[in-house]
């Protein structure tokens, strides 16, 4: 099997498949960071740059964790769909795909760019970024509702969402935190029954690069047809967990969480009919807990913070706030005063 992280193998492959000329020698740079994929930057003499992404079967984590590498095919489909519906520049165009080698190539986001998570952890929280983050999500969610957009039937398959999200985030957490089990299991059942629209499934600041102050969204392998409230809870969790962790910047992050929710909602006219606020609140609570007690805890939260977040969330699960604003206030208060 081809290993794209071996520069000579990758160059031979690109030449043999006529992606580049036989005598062309592009620059190759292995991009670190991913645990479930290999990503390699290929810069051609013309200046054109691609990122080649190859799905791994065995993820690079401490415990044995396997995932079907055919999820890269889902990502290729998602790039094609999102490129049609999202604002130009917010999705990296697909250059080619090779299902047999479990890889695809997309346009590289031009330099200079920064990962949004890195910016946020520095306390650099800007309204314009938060608004774009909310609008881009709303655009994905409304893209197929009430429209005659062709959606590949592959998006109806939720097996990647099951194995990469519901099991490691929700069901595993329910086992670890028995007080939360009923809440989470009910939410899992509800989620499995709701086939509302296209869901990204990995909508996180880590998967956003910022170039010229514009957000570019990456990493679509969990995209499926399901419950959009999952994406809301997943992304809210990143803003609220940073509000918890970064005490000096707490107000900026609570403001960002409110702005995200308001902008998202106002970009989805009539959407509350299909996606009630109460379900987004449930997903926010479940994800806040999953990111401290699930298989993939947020690395920046220390033991004391994880414990505090777990206690705050379990309490809120017993009597969930009626509004997202209420949840933001209650969560922040609970983690501040302990
Ligand atoms: N098109 C791209 N342009 C520039 N950098 C990219 C691109 N695609 C991926 N990367 C870099 O590689 C990292 C991992 O890619 P990602 O698609 O998020 O894979 P993973 O599923 O492993 O998280 C990103 O965080 C980013 O830094
Ligand atoms: Mg990623």
Q: How far is CA 150 from CA 89, 221, 225, 272, 328, in A?
A: 22, 19, 13, 24, 37
State the pLDDT at residue 65: 81
- The number of the ligand nearest the C-alpha atom of 209 reads 1
- Nearest of 198, 167, 120, 153 to residue 290 by alpha carbon: 167
Write the residue with the smallest CA distance to atom 17 of ligand 1: 219
Are the C-beta atoms of 96 and 222 separated by less than 8 Å? Answer: no
**How would CATH label the architecture of 114-336?**
Alpha-Beta Complex (3.90)
- Same fold? 7-107, 114-336: no
262 lines ligand 1 (CB under 6 A): no
- The number of the ligand nearest the C-alpha atom of 204 reads 2
Q: How far is CA 299 from CA 32, 261, 268, in A?
A: 16, 25, 33
SS3 of residue 197 by DSSP = strand
DSSP annotation of 272 reads G
Q: How far is CA 51 from CA 155, 210, 320, in A?
A: 24, 16, 43
Contacts of 63 (CB under 8 A, 6+ apart): none
Around Cβ 280, how many Cβ atoms within 10 Å? 24
At 338, the pLDDT band (50, 70, 90 cuts) reads low
Backbone torsions φ then ψ of 262, nearest 5 degrees: -65, -45
Q: In whole numbers, what is the pLDDT of the chain averaged over residues?
A: 95
CA dist., res. 213 & res. 131, Å (int):
12
Q: How far is CA 17 from CA 20, 22, 132, in A?
A: 8, 10, 38
pLDDT one-digit tens code per residue, 242-252: 999 999 999 99
CA dist., res. 13 & res. 326, Å (int):
54
pLDDT one-digit tens code per residue, 162-192: 999 999 999 999 999 999 999 999 999 999 9
| pLDDT of 60 above 90 | no
109 lines ligand 1 (CB under 6 A): yes
Q: How far is CA 64 from CA 9, 61, 173, in A?
A: 27, 7, 18
State the pLDDT at residue 151: 84
DSSP annotation of 33 reads -
Around Cβ 319, how many Cβ atoms within 10 Å? 8
Give me the residue spans of the domains in the chain: 7-107, 114-336
pLDDT one-digit tens code per residue, 191-238: 999 999 999 999 999 999 999 999 999 999 999 999 999 999 999 999
| pLDDT of 271 above 90 | no
State the pLDDT at residue 59: 84
Atom of ligand 1 nearest to the CA of 207: 18
- Residue 96 forms beta bridges with which residues? 105
CATH fourth-level superfamily of 7-107: Phosphorylase Kinase; domain 1 (3.30.200.20)
State the pLDDT at residue 63: 74
Cα(90) to centroid(ligand 1), Å: 14
Which residues, chain by chain, have CB under 5 Å from ion ligand 2?
Answer: 207, 219
DSSP annotation of 190 reads H
pLDDT one-digit tens code per residue, 69-111: 999 999 999 999 999 999 999 999 999 999 999 999 999 999 9
Alpha-carbon 38 to chain mean position? 17
- Report the percent of the chain where pLDDT is more than 90: 88
| pLDDT of 275 above 80 | no
């Amino acid at each position: 099997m081809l290993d794209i992280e071996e520069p000579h193998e990758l160059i031979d492959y690109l030449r043999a498949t006529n992606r580049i000329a036989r005598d062309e020698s592009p620059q190759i740079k292995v991009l670190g960071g991913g645990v479930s994929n290999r990503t390699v930057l290929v810069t051609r003499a013309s200046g054109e740059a691609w990122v080649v992404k190859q799905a791994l079967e065995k993820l690079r984590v401490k415990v044995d964790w396997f995932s079907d590498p055919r999820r890269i095919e889902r990502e290729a489909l998602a790039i094609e769909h999102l490129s049609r519906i999202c604002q130009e520049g917010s999705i990296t165009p697909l250059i080619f795909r090779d299902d047999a080698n479990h890889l695809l190539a997309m346009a590289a986001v031009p330099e200079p760019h920064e990962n949004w998570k890195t910016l946020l952890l520095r306390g650099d929280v800007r309204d314009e970024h938060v608004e774009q983050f909310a609008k881009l999500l709303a655009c994905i969610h409304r893209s197929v509702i009430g429209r005659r957009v062709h959606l590949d039937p592959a998006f109806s398959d939720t097996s990647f969402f099951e194995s990469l999200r519901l099991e490691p985030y929700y069901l595993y957490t329910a086992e670890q935190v028995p007080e939360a089990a009923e809440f989470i299991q009910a939410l899992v059942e509800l989620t499995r029954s709701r086939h509302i629209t296209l869901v990204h499934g990995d909508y996180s600041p880590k998967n956003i690069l910022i170039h010229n102050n514009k957000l570019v969204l990456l990493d679509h392998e969990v995209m499926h047809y399901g419950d959009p409230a999952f994406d809301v809870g997943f992304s809210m969790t990143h803003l609220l967990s940073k509000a918890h962790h970064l005490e000096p910047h707490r107000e900026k992050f609570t403001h960002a969480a409110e702005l995200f929710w308001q902008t998202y909602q106002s970009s989805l006219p009539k959407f509350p009919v299909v996606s009630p606020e109460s379900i987004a609140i449930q997903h926010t609570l479940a994800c806040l807990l999953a990111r401290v007690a699930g298989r993939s805890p947020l690395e920046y939260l220390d033991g004391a913070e994880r414990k505090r977040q777990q206690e705050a969330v379990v309490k809120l699960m017993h009597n969930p706030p009626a509004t997202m604003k209420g949840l933001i206030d209650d969560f922040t208060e609970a983690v501040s005063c302990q």
